[in-house]
Amino acid sequence: MFSREHLLNELQEEFPLVRDWLIYIRDNEEDTKWIHDLIDASPKQFEQWVLYLSEGIRLLPTRPVRLSVFSQIITLDANAFDPASSLGKLWLHVLAETKRVHSKEHIVMPTDQKAVSDLLEDYHLYREDISDSVTAVNLFAETASGYHPVWEAAVHSHSVLTVPLREVVKLRAVYPAHEQPIVWIIDNAEVFSRIADRVPTLPMICTKEKWTRTAWGVFDRLIANGAELRFVGDLTPQGIVRAEELLLRYPDRTRTWQMDVETYLKAKDETLDLTDSDYALLDKQHVDYLACLKDEMRDQGHPGHLMTVIDELIEKLNHYYRK
C-alpha cells in the first residue's frame, strides 16, 4: 500500500541535497497540501521531479544564467522550470526553503511576478522577459570576450540603446564613455530625449519613472566599475521617493542633481495640487539632504516638473560636456 511518508523518507536518503525540504513537506502537511496532492496524483512523477530539483541545487550557477538555459541543462526541457508549471512551482518552493534562516520558520512562497523574479535572481537565475529593459546612451559594455560591439558602435554614433534583461546578464562590466566617471539617471523620458538631442556626449540612462531588473543590473555593474550615479527626477513626491530609493541602495556612489528648493520654486506647477497620497509619499523615506525640498513642497502644496526648466538644465550640462 502506498505511503506518502514512506516515499518522502526514502527520497530523503536518496537525495540529501533536498533533505531539509523533504522533511518540511513531511512535517507540514497543511502548509504543503498542494505538494501532497502532486505526490498522490503520481508518486513516480514526483520522484522524477525530486531528482531534477536535487540536480538543480547541485548545479546552482555562480554567475547569471537564463532560467530556460538552466532548465535545459537540468531536465533537457527549456520550459520545465517555468514558474507556472508544477515543477517550476516546486523549484520556487525549494529555493524559498533554502533561504530559511531557521528550521522552525515556515516556507514563504513569492506572491507576485516581481517576488518570483527576485527569488530566482538571488540564485543567479533570470527569466526571459524582453519587456524588462533599460534605455541608455554613451555607455561602453564588456562581455567575457571583451568590448561589446553593439554598445561600442552606439557610443561612436551617440545612438540610444534599449537593452533587454537577457542581454544585460551577459555583461561583465558597464562604464561611461567619458573621462568623467559619472552616469546621469534621467527619470523622465521627455527630459532624457531633450538632453540627448542637445548634450550628445552625456552618458545617460532613462528609467521612464520605474525601476526594472535590467536597470538595477546595469547600475550594479556601473558601481562595481567605479562609476558614480547622478539622479535627475521630477520635483514630485514620486520623484523624491525614487531618488531616495537609489540613494539608499548606493549611498556612497549616488547624488541627486537639481533636486533642490531653488529649482523646485522655478519648476513648480501651481495648476496642480498635491493629493493626500502625495503627502504620504513625502513621509516614506528619510534622506537628510532632501529634507528641505520635502518641507518646501509640503508648504507650497504643488509638484514641480523639470521640463519647465529644461533649457536651464541643458545649459548647465553643456558647460561640462562640450563636444
140 and 120 in one domain? no
CATH number of the CATH domain containing 207: 3.40.1360.10
- Tens digit of pLDDT for each residue in 7-42? 999 999 999 999 999 999 999 888 899 999 999 999
Number of domains forming the structure of the chain: 2
> Among 86, 111, 126, where does a domain finish?
126
> Among 126, 143, 177, where does a domain finish?
126
Query: What's the chain's average pLDDT?
Result: 92
37 and 182 in one domain? no
User: What are the start-end ranges of the E strands in 61-160?
Assistant: 65-66, 125-126, 133-137, 139-143, 146-147
Q: Work out the average pLDDT over 276-290.
A: 88
194 and 92 in one domain? no
For the cut 90, the answer to whether the pLDDT of residue 131 exceeds it is: no
- Tens digit of pLDDT for each residue in 269-280? 999 999 999 999
Is pTM beyond 0.75? Reply is no
Q: In what helix (H) or strand (E) does residue 187 lie, and over which residues does it extend?
A: none
Q: Work out the average pLDDT over 116-136.
A: 86
Give the pLDDT band (50/70/90) at residue 75: very high
For the cut 70, the answer to whether the pLDDT of residue 293 exceeds it is: yes
289 and 222 in one domain? yes
What pLDDT sits at residue 285? 75
Q: In what helix (H) or strand (E) does residue 60 lie, and over which residues does it extend?
A: none
226 and 156 in one domain? yes
Give the pLDDT band (50/70/90) at residue 103: low
> Among 111, 126, 141, where does a domain finish?
126
For the cut 90, the answer to whether the pLDDT of residue 263 exceeds it is: yes
Contact indicator for 242, 282 with CB cutoff of 8 Å: no
293 and 250 in one domain? yes
167 and 68 in one domain? no
Q: Work out the average pLDDT over 254-267.
A: 96
Contact indicator for 170, 218 with CB cutoff of 8 Å: no
CA 286 to chain centre: 22
Domain of 11, in residue numbers: 4-126
